[in-house]
Structure 1
Amino acid sequence: MTSLRDQFRPADHPNDHFLLTTIVGAYPKPKWHDRAREMYENPDADFGDSEWQEAKNDAARLVTGEHERAGIDVVTDGEMRRNEMVEYFADRIEGYEFNGLVKVWGHNYFNKPSVRTEVEYDDTWLVEEYEFTSSVADRPVKVPITGPYTLAKWCFNEVYEDDATLAFEVAELVNDEIQKLVDAGARYIQIDEAALATTPDDYAIVEECLERIVSDLPDDVYVGLHVCYGDYSRIYPEMLEFPVDEFDLELVNGNYEQLDVFKDPAFTKNIGFGVVDAHRSEVESVEEIKANIKRGLEVVPPEQLTISPDCGVKLLPRAAAYQKMANMVEAAREVEAELDEGIVDVARSSASAD
């Protein structure tokens, strides 16, 4: 039976079984990229728009190629053009304004915006990024986009009666952007809702946002939802009603302590299964990653299992990030071969959508 995910299977895939491999999104930026940004933001430096554009293109080309060299099936450009998951989009939505840096943790800060007027869609946010990445990639390209709930919760709302109303309005704008991405050829969209993990009681708001986003997308568009951290038991099994094809979850960082949450009732969607830790620079061995993949097979059969890091790996040393990706792909291919040989136990057959 052909599934929507099969469109991302390489024509020359070596095994009968297929475990899709991908990266969540963010990847370490080359050090020269950060220096180029500093020069661009320095009014005294002789480094203008064209030089900054060239630097971003070079970084995107480099990282996309790095993902392909590691063997990833569906790649990204590592979000080389983005600075932060909320700030980047808030800067492109009419109605948002910035107040200054807010401390997140340790020495990490982000420029937390305020919504000062009603939000409106202006120019495209990600189409240029997608078109360039797909032009230099030999493999399918995934587009991560910060979700409307997170864009509403992680700002100061000074206009709308509540965050839900703001989130619904932003969802309409996200739909506009995704429609343009689809028109440009994108077929794998990942919506990042990091804020859901911090306020899981709002899962119904997220569901309504997703309904507004995906209601008129073509049938061949594959939609994932990335939710990192948090207590998944507070949104499971209700989240299975979300109108997405895949849930990308952070699990290895918690040593799979929440794995049993997804076993009863059965997980009926595809699962993006974190098998390498995005917060630990130590590189997992192929054997260790294979064991992690087999934990995923306790929850879903191979045709529902996507292999990925826990989250964006942008805070890792770049050499470690690359080796994690390469080991992850090798582990997935070896597990596929073992599945072909019938030496790996699969807990159950594919679950009915009913």
Structure 2
Amino acid sequence: ERAGLDTVVDGEMRRNEMVEFFADRIDGYEFNGPVKVWGHNYFDKPSVVEEVAYDEPWLVDEFEFTSNVAERPVKVPITGPYTLGFWAFNEAYPSTEELVYDLADLVNEEVEKLVEAGARYIQIDEPALATTPEDHAIVGEALERIAAGIPEEVRIGLHVCYGDYSRIYPEINDYPIDEFDVELCNGDFEQIPTFTDPEFEPDLALGVVDAHTAEVESVEEIKENIRQGLRVVPPEKLTISPHCGLKPLPRDIAYGKTENMVTAVREIESEIDSGEIDLDDPLADD
């Protein structure tokens, strides 16, 4: 809020790893030790040993604390059922697809609890889809289950890290989401044209600062990134954010990125209002 964000998050300060946190709270998972992921990094990969079940809320206390101390609207990120299923060992279900659908029903229960607590902005994180884009239909069905019965005024976003987005586009236009969150900073936005044909239907949440570098981007650099998003959607359909969670970064670096991002957004808004940016050709001044 000090940096000027319009919407805030808890920062996931109560969470450890994005799958482990939820697996520890869902009946049916167990942990048997870490597995090597890459380099010297290890992940405490859980196993699904019996049918998954919802026992008690996972994030309501986190949301209630954050919303009580925040003056701005609060977004709640939830690891999606596809990632929760495919980033675990499946020892209980005939197929991981069936596990994903059961997990989607549990996520739906959690979203209902969050909505009852006052949440109006939910983000489903599905990084696993980037590695298996051929499963976009499974994710679509899972999202249908998550969104079932959720009031229309509740904003649902989908975040997919990395990957070749052309392998899931335009299929995402059929997803029951209000916003699609993309991570393009580390690819110089070369994939932006993917979203221009056919027309991009949900709102676009564009990551404009890199969560994986400890260098604070300049305001001018961030403004150039924002202009890339204006090639896809009009300003009223563009949300600006970091391209992934800033939790791994030193606090001063994370704050510096956020502060510069907000400054860049305000300057772009002013330039749009004054006519300095041609929305038919937002890169024209480059």
Q: What does 1:1-354 align with in structure 2 at a 5 Å threshold? A: 68-347=1-280
Q: CA RMSD in A?
A: 0.9
CA contact (8 A) 1:275 1:310 kept: yes
| TM-score normalised per structure 2 | 0.97
Q: Secondary structure at the match of 1:182?
A: helix
- Structure 1 position 99, deviation (Å): 1.3
Q: Deviations over 1:136-169 (max 9, x none)?
A: 0010000000000100000000111111100000
CA contact (8 A) 1:275 1:309 kept: yes
Q: Which has the higher contact order (CA 8 A, sep 6+)?
A: 1
Once residues 12 and 190 of structure 2 are traced to their aligned partners in structure 1, the CA distance between those partners, rounded to angstroms, is 30
- Aligned residue pairs, count: 281
- Structure 1 position 104, deviation (Å): 2.0
- Structure 1 position 315, deviation (Å): 1.8
Per the alignment, residue 284 of structure 2 pairs with: none
Q: Secondary structure at the match of 2:10?
A: coil
CA contact (8 A) 1:286 1:331 kept: yes
Q: Secondary structure at the match of 2:34?
A: strand
- Structure 1 position 252, deviation (Å): 1.1
Which has the higher mean CA deviation after the structures are superposed, 306-315 or 149-158? 306-315
Q: Which runs of 5+ in 2 are unaligned?
A: 282-286
Identity of aligned residues (%): 67
Once residues 3 and 70 of structure 2 are traced to their aligned partners in structure 1, the CA distance between those partners, rounded to angstroms, is 13
- Structure 1 position 188, deviation (Å): 0.2
State the 4+ residue runs in structure 1 displaced beyond 6 angstroms.
Answer: none
- Structure 1 position 290, deviation (Å): 0.6
- Structure 1 position 105, deviation (Å): 2.4
Once residues 73 and 175 of structure 1 are traced to their aligned partners in structure 2, the CA distance between those partners, rounded to angstroms, is 26
- Structure 1 position 107, deviation (Å): 2.8
Once residues 310 and 108 of structure 1 are traced to their aligned partners in structure 2, the CA distance between those partners, rounded to angstroms, is 22
Q: Which amino acid in the other structure matches residue 203 of structure 1?
A: H
Bigger radius of gyration among the two:
1
Q: Deviations over 1:202-255 (max 9, x none)?
A: 000000000001010011100000000111000000111000000010011111
Q: Which amino acid in the other structure matches residue 93 of structure 2?
A: Y
Q: Deviations over 1:282-341 (max 9, x none)?
A: 111011101110111011100110001111112222111100000000000000000000
Once residues 325 and 78 of structure 1 are traced to their aligned partners in structure 2, the CA distance between those partners, rounded to angstroms, is 12
Q: Which runs of 5+ in 1 are unaligned?
A: 1-67, 349-354
CA contact (8 A) 1:225 1:247 kept: yes
- Structure 1 position 102, deviation (Å): 1.4
Per the alignment, residue 17 of structure 1 pairs with: none
- Structure 1 position 109, deviation (Å): 1.8
